[in-house]
């Protein structure tokens, strides 16, 4: 899966059955696909711009799983794997579980997405293609 496909263009964030209702501001934010999610800079690999946007959004709402997941992606793109893991783990620990629509058109819950992001981080999938190329080996 490419990083661009994993950059979460959230079209809707709705609580799953058995979880508390999402705050109105979070639902409206997700539905409007506002810049707080930094989808465009993430998809373009502009980690510095995405980080500025996402750190501000996370400070305003530190329990927004969508923001935390995208923040983790931005940290990973910037080569800060420790901070990325922390952001993904914070998203995983969020009390509210929301359904997220991803850029590739799939929908999944925020905890599942956070677990997937941690696995991708461990495999180095958020690194730029040039950095990943150095991991390749050739067989004679």
Tell whether 19 is covered by a domain.
Answer: yes
Tell me if 15 is assigned to some domain: yes
Q: Is residue 18 part of a domain?
A: yes
- Rounded Cα distance, 9 and 140, in Å: 42
In the chain, the number of structural domains is: 1
Query: Tell me: the pLDDT tens digits for 124-136?
Result: 998 776 554 555 5
Confidence of residue 103 (pLDDT cuts 50, 70, 90): confident
Residues in the chain: 140
45-50, Cβ contacts within 8 angstroms, sequence gap of 24 or more? 45/3, 45/77, 45/128, 47/74, 47/75, 47/77, 47/78, 48/78, 50/74, 50/77
Written as six digits, the tokens of 10 are 């959230």
Asked if residue 88 belongs to a domain, the reply is: yes
Query: Is 131 within the bounds of a domain?
Result: no
The verdict on residue 32 lying in a domain is: yes
Domain assignment present for residue 107? The answer is: yes
Q: Give me the CATH number covering residue 63.
A: 1.25.40
Nearest-angstrom CA–CA distance, 58 and 38: 12
């Amino acid at each position: 899966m490419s990083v661009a496909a994993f950059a979460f263009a959230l079209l809707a964030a709705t609580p799953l059955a058995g979880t508390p209702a999402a705050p109105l501001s979070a639902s409206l934010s997700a539905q409007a696909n506002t810049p707080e999610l930094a989808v465009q800079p993430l998809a373009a690999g502009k980690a510095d711009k995405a980080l500025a946007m996402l750190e501000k959004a996370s400070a305003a709402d530190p329990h927004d799983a969508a923001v935390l997941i995208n923040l983790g992606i931005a940290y990973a793109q910037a080569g800060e794997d420790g901070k990325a893991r922390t952001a993904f783990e914070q998203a995983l620990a969020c009390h509210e579980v929301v359904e997220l629509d991803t850029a590739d058109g799939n929908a999944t819950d925020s905890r599942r997405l956070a677990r997937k992001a941690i696995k991708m981080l461990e495999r180095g999938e958020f690194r730029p293609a040039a950095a990943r190329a150095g991991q390749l080996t050739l067989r004679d």
